Amino acid sequence: MNRGRRRVCLAGASGIALLGASCGARVPLTTGAIDDPYVPPLPFDAGAPDGAVPLGPALCGADAVAGGKLATLAVGSARRLTDDSTYDVWLCRDDRGVYALNNECTHASCPLQLVGGPRFYCRCHGAEFDFNGEHPTAPAIQPLEHYAVCDDGAGNARVDLALVVAPASRLP
């Protein structure tokens, strides 16, 4: 979900909660800034590093987008997945497995380019992100969102854009 839609959804939900509260209803309100991304609770794996969740077929929803054959994605490479209107993500593989990143710079939502290193570069204002979408350079200050990646059982990747996961989460 892009940041603009998230702000509208959160603002609308806040307005409904305030309306309910003003009518005498008991509606729990959340705390935190609107820009704080909501990360849904994920299954806990005590053996996973840094809150990583091992990803598998059961984790992706029915609306997950196709990511192509997993076997053709080499270590240190990335494949851009987009329909040019509703989603634009990178499917990447490092030595720990396969993961998916949002392809919007966190500064001004410009699309990113994969460059040598490998790393991601924003042509709009020069921000860079490492291959895991972390450690942004100015003017970006937030890392890229990671999405759940699943194997469809036939060796094809599926990316669930509705499920944001920890940056260390990988499909083995």
Q: What is the pLDDT of residues 98-136, one digit of tens each?
A: 999 999 999 999 999 999 989 999 999 999 999 999 999
What are the residue ranges spanned by the domains of the chain?
1-38, 44-165
Indicate if the pLDDT at residue 83 is higher than 70: yes
Which CATH number fits the domain 44-165, given the four candidates 2.115.10.20, 3.50.30.30, 2.102.10.10, 3.40.109.10? Answer: 2.102.10.10
Indicate if the pLDDT at residue 51 is higher than 70: no
17 C-beta neighbours (distance < 10 Å), count: 15
Q: Could you give the count of Cα atoms lying within 13 Å of 151 in the half-sphere of its Cβ?
A: 13
State if pTM tops 0.75.
no
Task: Report the share of the chain in percent with pLDDT over 90.
Answer: 60
> How, if at all, do strands 112-115 and 146-151 pair?
unpaired
Whose CA is closest to 31, among 43, 17, 47, 42?
Answer: 17
> How, if at all, do strands 65-69 and 156-165 pair?
antiparallel
